Structure 1
């Protein structure tokens, strides 16, 4: 029986070089949303510090654009910076237990620019990376977050390596080597959520994928069973050792992306907060509540969600991204949870901090079949100072989810908000809206 690592290599080598017509809108949205959030995060401290760090290495090959500007770098360094920026605000899309596009798009963009691949091939490579990621995570019944692994950092590294191997047109043996190499480069800890290191996870995953593929292209060897071995990638990550290492791969059949899709974020917060935010915003708006009228808010969420939301009294905008207390407070005080609220100044406002002790988190042990790290539903119960009890009811899919999607106009509005103040946003959106027709990606945003 063909092993999993070998099967992935075979799938990558045989994958089409152009995406199916019906998936073009979804794949365009992945690039639009990711490059928008990348531009929005370009000035975040984590990105600035990383640029300083890389600058100390001296000049390197000018192979790919950094943040779609005039600066160019080695493709791995460009992927590192662009991936970190895309995830810096935690505003990028969600699926497969993590953030697929914030790893796949920066890696593909960097290498597509280096080798001159066209837009259609880049989109097809994205699809390969998504499907390999989906194949691997579908074998694990337990959320990796419970063991401290960040799925974006671990599955993203391997998925992006598969995407780049497809982009390069590697044969099955070399593609399998690239994937096996990437498995040993993967890593990222949930303990670092709410710090600059979390977005670095995405950047490092993208950069590691570039390195893995470029090493494999030179003939750098790796074990042919690195994914499925008892001491391999899947077994090492598995929280309870229940991962399926033996079932035949299902790659090449029905595409997972058609079933799972992409969840586009409406709020620049950990996705574990989004259903609660929707519930609070609806209740506050429907009943026209003022902050001082809110006596308490009970949010019922999944146990793994609660574990991710570790900051109960955040002091900074970065910490607030992983705080359900802040999510509720922002929804109550500002009736919005956007880029303007995720600032140190807003987090420090007395009326915001006054809501924190009014928030109670209750956990439930149900599990969403599409996102196992989340409960099947969340619920918000808000009590007013007048004694009223307001109930959101069960909330299944947050706004922007694949099964409760944004309209194209809403996606474009988010992109415009993310690129405000950046010269070239409208031109970039026009290019990405016809990505499959572009002969190359070097001139994205008019920055060639």
Structure 2
């Protein structure tokens, strides 16, 4: 029996009643967090450029473009909203998948739910199914896959989306099997494009691709069912012989990845590989600061080599590049005692004060023993003052990295409200938050997205128009 067939059997057998309370809770949190970052990202240039290319200025479908009053076709909504969800790099990640998982699933699930009439319970179940499949395929190919330069958010996330949407739309086992192997031909994304608009486009095209695979399979489209294990299939093409363990896709199905280790949630709107260093810098400010930038002779940041490979940017040249500069993120933390959305907006990246500090911030690989050998996220930051005094702080892993060290519900709600404030009034944001708190009771995704229609966004027309260059 093929790998795709065995995964399809597991997906179609899942029911909402099978989900433990903690799984339902974390799926609900994933929806809340992703809706928040999708709202915040909806005012960014990257999704707007995708909208313009697709010609979506007037709606012709049932699915909301977040942050607007337009409704479009489901594949277009998945692409644009998926790009928005990842535009700020503020969305959650999955350890074993090695990338961002809810930002690719939630836009596709909401669009499919609007188009085909699914409710909140269905979306939570589908998210759980997609998360578990994506994480297990990640087990098969990581860390080689991500270290070799693939972007797992899209190369592996497409299987999470296909699994989730197949469960949402109640595909048969045969159809689900086809959707999975069809998705293998839609996997794409390389790390060379980190720090540009193309990285969030990876998420958008993944959301669209996974949903497309499901809709085609539903129509009877064909694909080779052995596309995972074939001699020219996904595993060998993407990883090479000897660099994967296909059997791991079928192991541990009595455990829930979304519950443990769980998804990693972000408190800072920048690449997750910078977060431990950011927390170390913030701890320094809390313990010894605030620091006088004029007396800082040198700042040293040591982070895990795997993450430093794509965050060592001493001289970021754009807002997006700043999100992938551990030097910039540490500098902002030391300067302000916080790292927030405003530090990555407009021309904030070339603020004279931060540009003055950047040459004194040095990044290198962390050389100590990792706190967790299989999940190295250690960081240390040392500040050396002009009088010779030094202050250092070590962080084993960022807050929220696992469900054992979670960000509090209060912090996650505050993050949602902060993100939503870029588009919604406080009252509208609170209404969305309440609806997601009782997501299981939502009979249709339209009930949720109606809260984001013109009445909700009307309070912010000037800011939105300015962002789009029409005011």
Q: TM-score normalised to the size of structure 1? A: 0.94
Q: Measured at CA, do residues 59 and 186 of structure 1 come closer, stay the same or move farther in structure 2, by a change above 3 Å?
A: farther
Which aligned pairs between 1:10-409 and structure 2 lie closer than 5 A? 10-18=9-17, 19-55=19-55, 62-67=61-66, 69-95=68-94, 96-238=97-239, 241-246=242-247, 249-250=250-251, 252-288=253-289, 289-364=291-366, 375-393=376-394, 395-402=395-402, 403-409=404-410
- SS of 2:93's equivalent? coil
* 1:66, distance to aligned residue in structure 2 (A): 1.3
TM-score (norm 2): 0.89
Partner Cα distance (1:310, 1:91) in 2: 19
Per the alignment, residue 410 of structure 1 pairs with 411
Task: State how many pairs are aligned.
Answer: 444
Q: 1:229-280 deviations in whole A, cap 9, x for unaligned?
A: 2321122222784101245712642112221211110100000000000001
Tell me if structure 1 keeps the 8 A contact 2:98–2:142: no
Q: Kindly indicate whether the alpha-carbon contact (under 8 Å) linking 1:36 and 1:418 is maintained by their aligned counterparts in 2.
A: yes
1: distance between equivalents of 2:241 and 2:302?
Answer: 25
Partners in 2 of 1:177 and 1:307 — Cα distance?
A: 36
Q: Is the 8 A contact 2:85 2:91 kept in 1?
A: yes
Task: Identify the range of structure 1 (44-53 vs 237-246) with the bigger mean alpha-carbon deviation.
Answer: 237-246
Q: How far apart are the structure 2 equivalents of 1:409 and 1:371?
A: 31
Alignment partners' CA distance in 1, 2:241 and 2:262? 27
- The 1:364–1:248 alpha-carbon spacing in structure 2 relative to 1, beyond 3 Å, is same
SS at match of 2:226: coil
Superposition CA RMSD, Å: 2.1
Report the Cα distance in structure 2 between the residues aligned to 1:370 and 1:15, rounded to whole angstroms. 32
Note closer, same or farther for the CA distance 1:165–1:66 as it changes in structure 2 (3 Å cut): same
CA distance in 2, matches of 1:369, 1:201: 31
Q: Give the drift of 1:383.
A: 1.4
Question: SS at the partner of 2:140?
Answer: coil
**Aligned match of 2:460:** none
Aligned to 1:440: 444
SS in 2 for 1:340: helix
Q: 1:418 to 1:240 in 2, by over 3 A?
A: farther
Q: Which structure features the higher share of helix residues? A: 2
Q: Secondary structure at the match of 1:382?
A: strand
**Cα–Cα, structure 1 residues 283 and 444, in superposed 2: closer, same or farther, change >3 Å?**
same
What is the CA deviation profile of residues 92-151 of structure 1, one whole-angstrom value per residue up to 9, with x for unaligned ones?
111131111100111111111111111011100000000001110111242433222100
Name the SS for the 2:315 alignment partner.
coil
Structure 1 residues without counterparts, runs of 5 or longer: none
The farther-off stretch of 103-112 and 340-349 is: 340-349
Separation in structure 1 between the aligned mates of residue 447 and residue 368 of structure 2, nearest angstrom: 47
Deviation for aligned residue 1:68: 6.0
* Conserved 8 A contact 2:92-2:101: yes
User: Using a 3 Å threshold, how does the CA distance of structure 1 residues 157 and 367 change in structure 2: closer, same or farther?
Assistant: farther
Contact 1:180–1:223, Cα closer than 8 Å, also in 2: yes
For structure 2, the 5+ residue unaligned runs are: 454-471
Between the aligned partners of 2:417 and 2:303, the Cα distance in structure 1 is: 32
Question: Structure 1 residues 364, 45: closer, same or farther in 2, change over 3 A?
Answer: same
Q: Which moved more, 1:260-269 or 1:20-29?
A: 20-29
Task: Report the more deviating stretch, 70-79 or 438-447.
Answer: 438-447
